[in-house]
Amino acid sequence: MRVIDHFITGHAGGGAGREGDVFDPNTGAVQARVRLGTQKDLDAAVAAAQAAQPAWAATNPQRRARIMFNFKALVEAHMEELAHLLSSEHGKVIADAKGDIQRGLEVIEFCCGIPHVLKGEYTQGAGPGIDVYSMRQPLGIGAGITPFNFPAMIPLWMSGVAIASGNAFILKPSERDPSVPVRLAELMREAGLPEGILQVVHGDKEMVDAILDHPAIAAVSFVGSSDIAHYVYRRGVEAGKRVQAMGGAKNHGIVMPDADLDQVVADLAGAAFGSAGERCMALPVVVPVGEKTADALRAKLIPAIEALRVGVSTDQEAHYGPVVTAAHRGRVENWIQAGVDEGAELVIDGRGFALQGHEQGFFIGPSLFDRVTPEMQAYKEEIFGPVLQIVRAADFDEAVRLPSSHQYGNGVAIFTRNGHAAREFAARVNVGMVGINVPIPVPVAYHTFGGWKRSAFGDTNQHGMEGVRFWTKVKTVTQRWPDGSASVAEGGRTHDAFVIPTMG
């Protein structure tokens, strides 16, 4: 059986040790094994990173940017291969797999402009003969720990900005779908990245703990579920590292009485059920304002949800594919049962769904709940599956209060034709990313991604300038040059001082 190895400079591969199963969610079969690394593997990666990083940091940013350009072209040339590989381990349909890669590439495009964003600030004449300037310098070695649900985009969020800023980066991807991160690292190497600057170590908690405790790793970026994000944040900070840790989500979509309901239903089909609901920016809660809106929305949602096609991830007509593992399907089904037990009305039940010819695949049909209330545990917790919950709100104030007081605060959307209501909502809601008639408000790469409350620990977001701030530290220089040193003005060597160095 295929064994997915680490991507560590100087690592021969092979050898004994723990391994994990990598499933094909379409068939339920184990399709590969992944190595679960140890402290020894991490030490090898850190040693290679330490050897390579100083020269990389000293490489001018324009050269670093050129490698990003090369990498972007290579990923585009390998899009089909990468999308199929991603889909075969994750289970998302090919179009979603391409979207996953494309959104990551947009961060690489941002990184192509790294010379511009790394420019520091300058004040001439801050005092008599005194100038002050600042520069952004890399941290050294950074690490990223990523979830299964975006195996291309999230590793690229982190690694792109970290590397372009002059750091060496060690990625610990999800052990559920580890192949694409390794392929991306290989392509980065092919693009011209020196050895040791981007490495991939596989593993589970043992490897995560080794990363968090390693004294040579200066910063850790994490994305995953909230309890683990919180753990990573605390342990990493305790070890003196810079840590950003993004967690789970339960995003609400507010539907005002004046919203275009046909458009809302079309948006919800994608936002609640696309990628089998395994998105941190999915919209699993819809909040119609007023009973009339709720009844009308429910009436339109039922046939739309019943028409969704669940299929294998290579089925071009399929709306969504299987979830990632049998264990995850069991978890989603348990939450559906919890909702029933707590008294919510299960309008459409997706449990027990079997796809003909793929009975062992990890499929689950779409589910719809109505009359879900804020006290229910099934409302409070993230389900991360193809389940939509209707929570009816009496008025606008209640609709603002629901997402604002929820434990998670990743994303939220409002659907309305009323500009004033939308503006009010965006200003008041206690959530990090807001969509106005945009169901999945993932910010573009040159803005920044991050939630609030239990959706993110630490104070810096992913990508955009926030990402650059996370992966660099600022040094501020205050300088004064005594008059006597102005030998340049006295002739002799004047021209040497003004020779423009070759930047290429």
Query: Binding segment for ligand NAD among 25-33, 114-122, 203-211, 398-406 (CB under 6 A)?
Result: 203-211
Nearer to ligand NAD, 198 or 280 (CB): 280
Binding residue for ligand NAD, selected from 19, 43, 131, 204, defined by CB under 6 A? 204
Q: How far is the CB of 236 from ligand NAD (least distance, A)?
A: 11
Q: Which of 160, 181, 247, 385 binds ligand NAD (CB under 6 A)?
A: 247
* Residue (of 241, 179, 184) closest to 208 by Cα position: 241
Within positions 127 to 166, which residues make up the interface with ligand NAD, using CB under 6 A? 145-150
Binders in 355-374 for ligand NAD, by CB under 6 A: none
The answer to whether residue 451 forms part of the interface with ligand NAD (CB under 6 A) is: yes
Catalytic residue among 46, 185, 280, 383: 280
Question: Which listed residue (96, 267, 382, 466) binds ligand NAD by CB under 6 A?
Answer: 382
CB 396, CB 286: distance < 8 Å: no
Any idea what the Cα angle at residue 486 is, between residues 483 and 487, rounded to 5°?
A: 140
461 forms part of the interface with ligand NAD (CB under 6 A): no
| Chain mean position to CA 470 | 15
Q: Which of 86, 246, 297, 468 binds ligand NAD (CB under 6 A)?
A: 246
Q: Rounded to the nearest whole angstrom, what is the least distance from the CB of residue 197 to ligand NAD in the complex?
A: 21
Out of 139, 249, 368, 445, the residue judged to bind ligand NAD by CB under 6 A: 249
Nearest to ligand NAD of 36, 191 (CB atom): 36
Q: Is 248 in the site for ligand NAD (CB under 6 A)?
A: yes
CA 420 to chain centre: 32
Nearer to ligand NAD, 188 or 228 (CB): 228
Q: Are the C-beta atoms of residues 410 and 435 closer than 8 Å to each other? A: no
Q: 222: which strand partners?
A: 145, 245
Contact, 220 vs 236, CB < 8 A? yes
Asked whether position 386 contacts ligand NAD by CB under 6 A, the answer is: no
CB of 247 to ligand NAD, least distance (A): 6
| 111 belongs to the catalytic site | no
Cα dihedral 468/474/480/485 (nearest 10): -70
- Between 104 and 138, name the residue whose CB sits nearer to ligand NAD: 104
Nearer to ligand NAD, 71 or 384 (CB): 384
Which of 223, 245, 264, 391 binds ligand NAD (CB under 6 A)? It is 223
x/- letters, 274..293, toward ligand NAD (CB under 6 A): ------x-------------
- Please identify, using beta-carbon distances, which residue of 69 and 452 lies nearer to ligand NAD: 452
Site for ligand NAD in 98-117 (CB under 6 A): none
| Strand stretches in 268-394, DSSP E | 285-288, 345-348, 367-370, 387-390
Token pair for residue 305?
A: 């949800």
Q: CA–CA separation, 217 vs 193, rounded Å?
A: 20
Residues 387-426 interacting with ligand NAD (rule: CB under 6 A)? 410
Q: How far is the CB of 348 from ligand NAD (least distance, A)?
A: 23
Spatial contact of 52 and 168, defined as CB atoms under 8 Å apart: yes
Whole-number Cα distances in Å, 60 to 118, 166, 496: 11, 9, 21
- In b/e form, how buried is each residue of 338-355, taking b as 16+ CB within 10 angstroms? bbeeeebebbbebeebeb
Say if CB 243 and CB 237 are below 8 A apart: yes
Part in contact with ligand NAD (CB under 6 A); list of ranges 172-180, 286-294, 439-447, 467-475: 172-180
Smallest gap, in angstroms, from Cβ of residue 449 to ligand NAD?
Answer: 6
- What does the alpha-carbon distance between residue 32 and residue 466 come to, in Å, rounded to a whole number? 37
SS3 assignment for 80-100:
HHHHHHHHHHHCCCHHHHHHH
Q: Which two tokens stand for residue 363?
A: 């499929």
- Positions that interact with ligand NAD (CB under 6 A): 145-150, 172, 174-175, 204-205, 208, 223-225, 228, 246-249, 280, 382, 384, 410, 451, 455
Active site residues: 280
